[in-house]
Amino acid sequence: MTAVTSKPNEPRGARRKRETRSRLLKAAMTLMAVRGKDSVSINELTDAADVGFGSFYNHFKSKDDIYNALMAEVFNEFGIAIEEANKVNDDPADIISFAVQCVLLRSKVNPLWGQFLLRTAFSVETIVGGMGQYMLKDLERGVSEKRFVVSDPLMSFVSVGSTVMGAISIQHNLASQSEIVTALAEHAGYNVTNIPQRTAATVLQILGINEEEANVIASKPLLDVDFVALP
């Protein structure tokens, strides 16, 4: 979530209104990341945000409204930031690799963000108005430029999305139960290092790039992005 900062000469009422909205969004993200939108009531949101029940309707029309606002702030702003940073890349493979690694790294520094993404990954809202729209655009560009070779665009999109979500889940489990999960994984012979980079390489192979080139692309130094400060 974007931090709330005071604005010069901002009226007290405006500041309080903005802070209340921010608390409601933070509460929504925390609760919905764990339980999903449908299992959270407006009363629970206002209790978690420590604001009056009636205050909710000063900012949002309904639970769907706050959910859509949360999707826009959590994912759309992040997508815009990554897209802006990615402008220096011309190769669709570099663009996809960078975006995938950004998602994994952002999920690592902000586990709640990653958990919310896992919860909503294949919802209509995410595909149309969240992270999905950026992935689709990058995939379509790569296909149109014949950089990616895919026979079924829909299943390629699903495969890429599922790979990224699976990697986020593994990364989350490794972080939350690091000693146990890491020991079990290593005992089974699994390499649990460099997950963002390896995820990007796997995604590129799904899109038709050979393993050697995919590994080279995914190993390139990342653009300078502050994953903590991102929306």
Tokens found for residue 56: 């909710």
Q: What percentage of the chain carries pLDDT values higher than 90?
A: 47
Mean pLDDT value across residues 155-167: 92
> Are both 95 and 153 inside the same structural domain?
yes
pLDDT of 228 strictly over 70: no
* Contact predicate 145/92, CB 8 Å: yes
* Contact predicate 99/135, CB 8 Å: yes
pLDDT-derived band of residue 129, with 50, 70 and 90 as boundaries?
low
pLDDT of 220 strictly over 90: yes
In a domain, 38, yes or no: yes
Count of the separate structural domains present in the chain? 2
> Are both 96 and 186 inside the same structural domain?
yes
pLDDT of residue 187: 64
More confident residue, 5 or 138: 138
pLDDT of residue 168: 93
- HSE-up of 114 (CA within 13 Å, CB side)? 26
> Are both 131 and 90 inside the same structural domain?
yes
In a domain, 227, yes or no: no
> What DSSP line would sit under the chain, residue for residue?
-PPP---TT--HHHHHHHHHHHHHHHHHHHHHHHH-GGG--HHHHHHHHT--GGGGGGT-SSHHHHHHHHHIIIIIHHHHHHHHHGGG--SHHHHHHHHHHHHHHHHHH-HHHHHHHHHHTTSHHHHHHSHHHHHHHHHHHHHHTTSS--S-HHHHHHHHHHHHHHHHHHHHHHHHTHHHHHHHHHHTT---S-HHHHHHHHHHHHTT--HHHHHHHHTSPPP---TTT--
> Are both 181 and 131 inside the same structural domain?
yes
The CATH number assigned to the domain holding 122 equals 1.10.357.10
In a domain, 154, yes or no: yes
Q: What is the mean pLDDT of the chain?
A: 85
In a domain, 226, yes or no: no
Dump pLDDT digits (tens) for 18-73: 899 999 999 999 999 988 888 999 999 999 999 999 999 999 999 999 998 888 88
> Are both 50 and 9 inside the same structural domain?
yes
Tokens found for residue 88: 């220096």
Structural domain that includes position 122: 75-218
> Are both 120 and 189 inside the same structural domain?
yes
More confident residue, 125 or 90: 90
In a domain, 70, yes or no: no
> Are both 108 and 192 inside the same structural domain?
yes
Dump pLDDT digits (tens) for 77-108: 888 888 888 889 999 999 999 999 999 999 99
Report which of 151, 136, 145 is spatially closest to residue 207, judged by C-alpha positions. Answer: 151
In a domain, 200, yes or no: yes
In a domain, 131, yes or no: yes
In a domain, 7, yes or no: yes
Tokens 């895919």 found at = 150
